[in-house]
Structure 1
Amino acid sequence: MESLKAIYIVGPSSTGKTTLCNALITRLGLTSDMCITEVARTVMREQGFTRADVHSLAMQQAIVNAQATRDRQARQKATEDVVPKLQSILLSDRSAVDAVVYAALSETTLQSGNTKALVSSPEFLEVLPFYRSLHSTFVLLRPIPEWMIDDGVRSLEDGERCYAMFVKVLKELDIPFVEVGEECRWLGERVAFVRRLVFA
């Protein structure tokens, strides 16, 4: 597992997470089995959830479960395929932490109802040690107001409030992260920033 570097791109809606991930896939030459695409949209589509369910335990637990499964599959694939002395890269568009953040937005603390249930679930506890490890990096994208778009699926929580909750949750869960905002506004700058993290 030492040769695996995992990058999780997280943040509020419409911060360019998927756009950044797609650009990184191309720039880093990643194969599909080493990329975790947006799990939440798949869960919502397959299980009939809508953005009205964003604070429901059922939806967020389903997202945590699916994310944990994809994480496990990608890590197993990385260890099977790794070439000695070469680094394998896992790129994830969001994480299981996202579900915790959206639950906490309606409860304000990790010790409340749905949030506590998610954080203490076996699926979340399975991925938490990997999120905390030196081989994982969370890249938290700050909201850019003019990028906020209503596509009928995204949760349009106040971007700054959601961002602050990401910071709070990541710190409380002791997950290392780096923040990216206006100083890295353009896609090329963001790709270069993450690439430096990968090969640091």
Structure 2
Amino acid sequence: MSERLGGCADPGALDADALALYRELVHGRRAERPPAFPLTGPSGRLNGPAATWLLHPPLGTALERLGATVSYDLTLSARCKETVILTVAHHHDSVFEKYAHRLGAARAGFTAEETEELCAGRTPASAGPEERCTHRVARTLLADGRLDDASHAEALAVLGPKGLFEAVTLTGFYTLLAYQLGAYAIVPPAGG
């Protein structure tokens, strides 16, 4: 765990608001459908970007809600979601995102070889049309900050309005998480 987080990472040192957020993260919706990586370590400290959310519970609570929505309520396939996330992880060289979403990609049915292609910024040869499209959308947004008319039209035709919005939102959300992970020097747990 990062020393930059100070005492906020220790569950025993949390104030009432941070403790309420901690309990929601550990015992709420994520406990019903746990992420592919362990959310807490042996001491109860949070792993990953959620540890930073305890620094500002009102903002952290909003991020938790958005994170739960992008984790559980999207129409994009699990493979498309992991494609976007690993594209972001590659772009930002986010070690924790690569660690966590290698596990998520395996859960979504990617082979180890396909996952490593995504971690290296490449589209796996076996990717279907929606996966290829979400990869292009994420790469284009990360490189240019926008989609030109042709890219938007193509993505709309393949993903539909809702799927395109979800791919754009995932790209932005996981970029935010990459910034939080980088700013607080959060790395995978030992052995991860």
Coarse TM-score class (shorter-chain normalised):
0.3 to 0.5
- Relative CO higher for 1 or 2, CA cutoff 8 Å, sep ≥ 6? 1
TM-score by length of 2: 0.33
| Greater fraction of residues in strand | 1
| Greater fraction of residues in helix | 2
TM-score by length of 1: 0.32
Report which of the two structures shows the higher radius of gyration computed on alpha carbons: 2
